[in-house]
Structure 1
Amino acid sequence: MSTNRVQLYSKPGCHLCDDARAVIERVCAEAGTWYDEVDITADPALMRSYGEQIPVTFVDGNQHDFWRVDENRLRAALA
């Protein structure tokens, strides 16, 4: 289990994942926290659950966003 507050579920070659990663990196740096990234292609169960929603963002273990990451909403969740 991750000790970081934010997790990003993604897969290689996903342009929305690249966009989400940039937002998450920026907001986490401002908040002084770290994030983990999980490649869902390594786990068939994650592919079934999240394959059509990626990128999926979790904050403190709860699903926060999918497809796009709202920078202000993520910032507020980490405050």
Structure 2
Amino acid sequence: MTVYMRPGCHLCDVAREVVDAVCAELGESFVEVDIDTDPELLAAYGEEIPVTLVDGRRHDFWRVDPQRLRAALRDG
């Protein structure tokens, strides 16, 4: 699982808490990527962060629903 974020982003902080809790519950891991360090990511996701990807596929943006995330990680 990957979470595209930006430092200082309130929605990113909330998303990190949800992702961290769900991943810990399911024994999964996630990687945070700062989109400001990559011009292509910034162009693709700059207005939609945080963006979550599960198995390389876009899952959610702006807000992370814990139930949807659990289902996606279990089905992935």
Report the number of matched residues. Answer: 74
Partners of 1:33 and 1:76 in 2: how far apart?
A: 13
Partners of 2:28 and 2:45 in 1: how far apart?
A: 24
Q: In the alignment, which residue of structure 1 is the partner of 2:41?
A: 46
Q: Tell me the amino acid that sits aligned with residue 23 of structure 2.
A: C
Partners of 1:50 and 1:14 in 2: how far apart?
A: 13
Q: In the alignment, which residue of structure 2 is the partner of 1:64?
A: 59
Q: Which of 9, 13, 36 does residue 18 from structure 1 map onto?
A: 13
Question: Any gaps of 5 or more consecutive residues in structure 2?
Answer: none
The structure where helix makes up a greater share of residues is 2
Q: In the alignment, which residue of structure 1 is the partner of 2:70?
A: 75
Partners of 2:23 and 2:66 in 1: how far apart?
A: 10
RMSD: 0.4
Partners of 1:58 and 1:28 in 2: how far apart?
A: 13
Tell me the TM-score normalized by structure 2: 0.96
Report the identity percentage.
62
Runs of 4+ in structure 1 deviating by more than 2 angstroms, as ranges, are none
Question: Any gaps of 5 or more consecutive residues in structure 1?
Answer: 1-5
